[in-house]
Amino acid sequence: MNDNPQSVPPGWYPDPTARHAQRYWDGQGWTEHVASKKGVQSTDPPTREPVEPAGSAVGATAKKVPVFGARRVAKESLEENARLQRLIDEHGLRELAEVEKAVEGVRAQLDAAQQELKAERAAVQGALAERAAVQSQVLDLRSAVELQEFGLYDVEHPAESSVSLGTGLETLRVEIKQAISAGHATTATTNFTFNNSAAKGRKFVRDMSKLMLRAYNAEAENCVKTVRAGNLSAAQKRLGAAVDQIARLGSMIDLRVTPYFHGLRLRELELASRHLQALQIERELERARREELRQQRLAEQELAREKERLEKERAHYLVVLSTLEGNGDESGVARIREKLADVERAIEEVDYRVANIRAGYVYVISNIGSFGPEVVKIGMTRRLDPMDRVNELGDASVPFRFDVHALFFAEDAVGIETGLHQRFAERRLNKINLRREYFRVTPGEVLEALREQRVELLEFTLEAAAPEWRSSGGHGQLASPVQPDEVGESGSQVTAVA
């Protein structure tokens, strides 16, 4: 075959593998027909119109070589041919489907590599976040250590477990730490010299400030630990004494605890006391509920025993009545019927007391020998005999028995007792334990309150007899019953028991 490009037949192109001079392209792929410089070495190729293969330098669109830069173009052509040769050496002359399959495999490998890269990136980010958290903890520990140099420790605070006070306590503690870190806890002179050295003077002031602040914070924490529901003022006074002592000892350098920082620690004491007061009130309310249930069980037991006794008495009268009717004793029958009616009324009253849990006896009592002449106890009981409850209150826990100013039955004894308690709430002696129903009022004031509530009274005693107290050397006049004014409009129906 002639080497002149003008004499090359259609379909013959330079062999890309460089093993032969020419090779035939049938439009879909290279055939087995090859040619050397001496001519064709195989049978003639097919006669259909060939299609020029991609990448061939032979054809109608052969690349033109410019006049200038021919050397650069030749170098780029050689590099392109070398790259194509490497691809051919690596993949060979494959069919298009095989090439596409190979490309899909490469893409799958690329996707897998990207997923692995994403997983590695996520792992690295997690490690960085964990490292940042550890660094934050390290910084917190360093800050805690620095604050401990000033005597500030994260001690257990009573209000930590409180839902309503816990958030306020956390915010307050942050403010305390910030005040110490910013140097707002203490104040001192700035022009103090030591041995004619201003630097030594500043160091001396810093050390003394740190030492005094440690002492103050230790005293504040002791106050928090020892504060109780009722001794807040004592704890605040104790902490204030520490401030005065630090100012006195540090007078040479004008060292003192700032009012701002002292106010923060006083608020901390107040939170502790408020929480303890809330706990004590809750405990006292629980005791009051248990006592109320105990009194209710006692009342129910007494009413049950009373009803059982009345039932037996009624059965006895029924037997006697039947016998007298059989004997024709009309006078005896009438007498027994009257007694039987009394028993029936008593049973109905017991049933009413059992059904109406708000019914009971309201009592107003005092104990001059134990509490003085202007203290009364206002309460109620559902006991069958209300004096049993009064006698229980005057047991060995007090030196003298209680005197009764008023003791009356009411259908709404609970409402009357609650109204009196609310009326004299500000004058209650024990504002923590509400079960202690003692008020600093006179019997006359209680009488006026009962009149305002439209409570019907038959008898109210203003002055206490107090026989035991007077016989023991007490002084005063004997009690005299007072008949209150006429009753007001219809209210709670009251029957007096004097």
Which pLDDT does position 141 carry in this prediction? 45
* Half-sphere exposure for 165 (CA within 13 Å, toward CB): 19
Going by C-alpha positions, the residue among 326, 313, 190 that lies closest to residue 253 is: 190
Query: Phi, psi at residue 318, to the nearest 5°?
Result: -65, -40
d(CA 36, CA 57): 18
d(CA 478, CA 274): 45
d(CA 317, CA 324): 10
Is residue 6 scored above 70 in pLDDT? Answer: no
Instruction: Name the CA radius of gyration of the chain, rounded.
Output: 54
* Tokens found for residue 147: 């604050």
Of the listed ranges 141-145, 403-407, 416-420, 437-441, the one predicted with least confidence: 141-145
Going by C-alpha positions, the residue among 159, 169, 173, 190 that lies closest to residue 261 is: 173
Read out DSSP for 171-221? HHHHHHHHHHHTT-SEE--S---BTTBHHHHHHHHHHHHHHHHHHHHHHHH
Which pLDDT does position 134 carry in this prediction? 62
| Confidence band for 20, pLDDT divided at 50, 70 and 90 | confident
Residue type, 199: A
Which pLDDT does position 96 carry in this prediction? 57
| Cα→Cα distances 302→295, 305, 380, Å | 10, 5, 16
How much of the chain, in percent, has pLDDT values that exceed 90?
A: 5
* Tokens found for residue 91: 């993949």
Highest mean pLDDT among 126-130, 225-229, 305-309: 305-309
H or E element in which residue 268 lies? helix 259-327
| Confidence band for 161, pLDDT divided at 50, 70 and 90 | very low
**Rounded average pLDDT over 218-235:** 81
Is residue 378 scored above 70 in pLDDT? Answer: yes
Find the distance separating the first CA and the last CA of the chain, reported in whole Å. 149
> In 356-385, which ranges are continuous DSSP H helix?
368-371
H or E element in which residue 491 lies? none
Which pLDDT does position 1 carry in this prediction? 47
Of the listed ranges 26-30, 274-278, 283-287, the one predicted with least confidence: 283-287
Dihedral sign from CA coordinates of 414, 417, 423, 429: negative
Global confidence as pTM: 0.40
**Rounded average pLDDT over 72-94:** 68
* Mean pLDDT, all residues of the chain: 75
**Rounded average pLDDT over 471-493:** 46
Going by C-alpha positions, the residue among 118, 246, 261, 120 that lies closest to residue 178 is: 261
Of the listed ranges 73-77, 356-360, 423-427, the one predicted with least confidence: 73-77
d(CA 483, CA 480): 10
Which pLDDT does position 493 carry in this prediction? 36
Which pLDDT does position 120 carry in this prediction? 83
**Rounded average pLDDT over 204-217:** 87
Which pLDDT does position 377 carry in this prediction? 93
d(CA 463, CA 238): 44
* Tokens found for residue 467: 């026989």
Within 10 Å of residue 405's Cβ, how many Cβ atoms?
Answer: 26
| Confidence band for 65, pLDDT divided at 50, 70 and 90 | low
Which pLDDT does position 364 carry in this prediction? 92
* Tokens found for residue 472: 């023991």
Of the listed ranges 196-210, 283-297, 318-332, 466-480, the one predicted with least confidence: 466-480
Q: What is the dihedral of CA 189, 194, 198, 201, to 10 degrees?
A: -50
Which pLDDT does position 273 carry in this prediction? 80
Which pLDDT does position 439 carry in this prediction? 93
Which pLDDT does position 7 carry in this prediction? 63
User: Is the separation of the CB atoms in 205 and 172 below 8 Å?
Assistant: no
**Rounded average pLDDT over 388-400:** 84
Q: What is the pLDDT of residues 424-480, one digit of tens each?
A: 989 998 877 777 889 999 998 998 888 888 787 767 888 888 888 888 876 544 444
Query: Phi, psi at residue 320, to the nearest 5°?
Result: -65, -40
* Tokens found for residue 432: 């923590």
- The SS3 of residue 498 is coil
Q: Any bridge partners for residue 160, and if so which?
A: none
Is residue 413 scored above 80 in pLDDT? Answer: yes
Is residue 265 scored above 70 in pLDDT? Answer: yes
Residue type, 55: G
**Rounded average pLDDT over 244-250:** 89
| Confidence band for 63, pLDDT divided at 50, 70 and 90 | low
| Confidence band for 139, pLDDT divided at 50, 70 and 90 | very low
| Confidence band for 2, pLDDT divided at 50, 70 and 90 | very low
| Confidence band for 56, pLDDT divided at 50, 70 and 90 | very low
**Rounded average pLDDT over 6-20:** 74
Which pLDDT does position 365 carry in this prediction? 92
